[in-house]
A and B are shown apart, each in its own frame.
Chain A
Amino acid sequence: MIEYILGHFNYWLIITVMMVGLYTLISRANLMKKLAGLAMFQTAVILFYVSLGKVTGGTVPIVDDQFTIYSNPLPQVLMLTAIVVGVATTALGFALVIRIKEAYDTVEEYEIQKMDSDS
């Protein structure tokens, strides 16, 4: 059992990061904090993919007689794309927060909802 827990140490960490991100996203009313939670949530998935590709004792995938075990490079390549998507999402989110701040003069969700339901 202990071996199982320690053997999957990286996955426990990833689950923790993911849940912290998701919890922040759900529980905070501040839009900036929501975006921070969202970014953490996405980062956890990136870590998850990178963990998937790692082979114990494996090296980088280079052609050389000395090495026979390689880590899988494909998940890392996929994550380059996912990182770009994540950056774009966060940037767009920040841009929207700026526009919301200009339009409502607040970034607190409850105040925005109150203004919306009043108008």
Chain B
Amino acid sequence: MTEQITILLVIIPLLCAPITAIFKSHKIAWAITFFVSLCCLLISSYILLQVIDGSQVIYELGGWQPPWGIEYKIDSLNAFVALIVSVMAVVSTVFAYASVQREIDDDLYGLFYAAFQLCLLGLLGIALTGDIFNLFVFLEISSLSSYALISMGSNRKALTAAFSYLILGTIGATFFLIGVGFLYAASGSLNIFDIASRFETYEKMQLVTTSFIFIILGIGLKAAIFPLHSWLPNAYGYAPSVISIFLAATATKVSIYVLIRVLFDVYPMEYWSKLLIPQVLLTLGCVAVIYGSVRAWQQNEIRRLLAFSSVAQIGYIIIGLALLSHSGITSAIMHMFNHAVIKATLFMAAGMILYRARSTTLSDLGGFAVNMPWTFAALFIAGLSLIGVPGTAGFVSKWYLLEGAVAQQKWFVVISIALGSVFAVAYLWKIVDAMYFSAQRKIHITKVKSGDISLAVAPKSMSVALWTGAIACIYFGLFTKLPTDAAKSVATALLGS
């Protein structure tokens, strides 16, 4: 029974997406999407409950035995990532109801939601599958639909952003494919667990190192690890706000999940430790933290600022992984979850500002906090959490990260984390300063029918989604048991100790 349910996570969006594409009506398309993401949330939480004690759920597609057939092998890490994706899908669908009607053309509603479901399907598929070629296919399903979704942004810069994401994303995916080819040539298998179990027999081949480098580069591009992040700021900055929320919270996290799988499950740790990978990742992570935060501080547009801050936050996750210690990996896994919640909340706040003020440029928003105090409060809470103030979710993961860095006496890592936090205060202060302390300015708004109430009131559905996120930021800072336990069990499983 449980095994059969896992495949439904992929089947339900796959079946519903073409049906959604038929409907022109916004209400119906939205209702189907909401139903799909709710189903995915229920199923993935059910699966997480099944595997949280360390057991595994195995599903063989079409009844073909692995390693010949495709196998879904779900442990606590897979289930955790699938849960992050489906929670974010539900939250962004709730947010979408009002926002999509504003930002997307009337005749594209059905197609928009269909592409959204395909993106969800791809991300869930990556999280579940145990077959490395199948993973490539899901990676491309999610990427192709996200290119289309990003290009629907109202600014024409969204088009060029989507195009450069398409070029770089395809290069990344093709590199990954070359790597998979080399690995297949060496091992004769595509099943991740089968490849790993026979690794000693072909470890000496030159092919294996080549395949490793190609796969890491490909995934690094998709995960926007510095210096391969150049597509991210524009893509998230100009996408429709729902898509910024959903992708910022999930797409890079899922790619980092693939990186974790490749590093800890496919190739043994002793193998790539010799290739200086931990040192390289640690250095890149530190540079990403400082560079991303400084660039975020230079931005004048809230959504681009948040996108650069994502580059920095990915740096924290990479540092956590590269420390290779129990607390480092715990912090990386927890930060995947916490950052998804925090960044989704911040992008939702930005989306609501965009909804009401039709602009997210800081110079247009002087004193605007007075007009939307609740949204501003939620943005402030999520901002505190991003900085890592005690009592918020961001603090917990940063604490574990610092603990891991101090335990290994890597002082330059400690310094970069501290610098990153200082700049985080600086760039979030920029928003607070512009919105709260600047003199109030009359906002110049175009293309609005007179008497449009949206200027005065933010839609209920948006507020619900926003405050769910903001409360989660606080909740997971005070009651840390759930994510900490899940992250610790994952870290123990990955390190095998």
Contact = CB atoms under 8 A, between A and B. Distances in A.
Nearest to B150: A96
B144 A92 contact: yes
A116 B178 CA distance: 35
A96 B144 contact: no
Contacts of B157: 116
Contacts of B136: 82
A38 interface: yes
Contacts of B140: 85, 88-89
Contacts of A78: 133
B178 A85 contact: no
Interface string B430-464: 00000000000000000000000000000000000
Contacts of B163: 31, 93, 96-97, 100
Interface in B150-164: 151, 156-157, 159-160, 162-163
A96 B147 contact: yes
A34 B164 CA distance: 10
B5 interface: no
Nearest to A49: B181
Nearest to A52: B185
Interface string A99-119: 110011000000010001000
B137 interface: yes
A70 interface: no
Contacts of A81: 133, 137
A103 B152 CA distance: 13
A42 B137 contact: no
A4 B35 CA distance: 59
Given A45-B181, A52-B184, A96 B156 contact: no
A17 interface: no
Given A48-B181, A96-B151, A103-B156, A85 B166 contact: no
B147 A104 contact: no
Interface string A38-60: 10011001001100100000000
A42 B144 contact: no
B162 A96 contact: yes
Contacts of B170: 38, 42, 89
B174 A41 contact: yes
Interface residues of A, number: 28
Interface residues of B, number: 25
B415 interface: no
B117 to A, nearest CB: 16
Contacts of B281: none
B160 A100 contact: yes
B171 A52 contact: no
Most buried by A among B133, B147, B151, B177: B177
A92 to B, nearest CB: 6
Most buried by B among A22, A89, A103: A89
B329 interface: no
B339 to A, nearest CB: 29
Contacts of A52: 181, 184-185
B19 interface: no
A118 to B, nearest CB: 12
B151 A25 contact: no
A45 B177 contact: yes
A45 B174 contact: yes
A108 to B, nearest CB: 12
B160 A116 contact: yes
Nearest to B160: A112
Interface string B175-205: 0011001001100000000000000000000
A45 B174 CA distance: 7
B174 A25 contact: no
Nearest to A81: B137
A82 B148 CA distance: 19
Contacts of B148: 92
B167 interface: yes
A99 B181 contact: no
B41 to A, nearest CB: 28
A25 B167 CA distance: 8
Most buried by A among B136, B137, B159, B174: B174
Given A38-B170, A93-B166, A82 B177 contact: yes
Contacts of A116: 157, 160
B166 A96 contact: yes
Contacts of B133: 78, 81
Contacts of B144: 85, 88-89, 92
Nearest to A78: B133
A14 B163 CA distance: 26
Nearest to A37: B167
A78 to B, nearest CB: 6
B166 A92 contact: yes
Nearest to A18: B178
A47 to B, nearest CB: 11
7 contacts: A22-B171, A25-B171, A38-B170, A45-B174, A89-B166, A92-B148, A103-B156
Interface of A: 22, 25, 31, 34, 38, 41-42, 45, 48-49, 52, 75, 78, 81-82, 85, 88-89, 92-93, 96-97, 99-100, 103-104, 112, 116
Given A96-B162, A96-B166, 11 more contacts: A25-B167, A25-B171, A38-B170, A41-B171, A48-B178, A48-B181, A75-B184, A85-B144, A88-B144, A92-B144, A96-B151
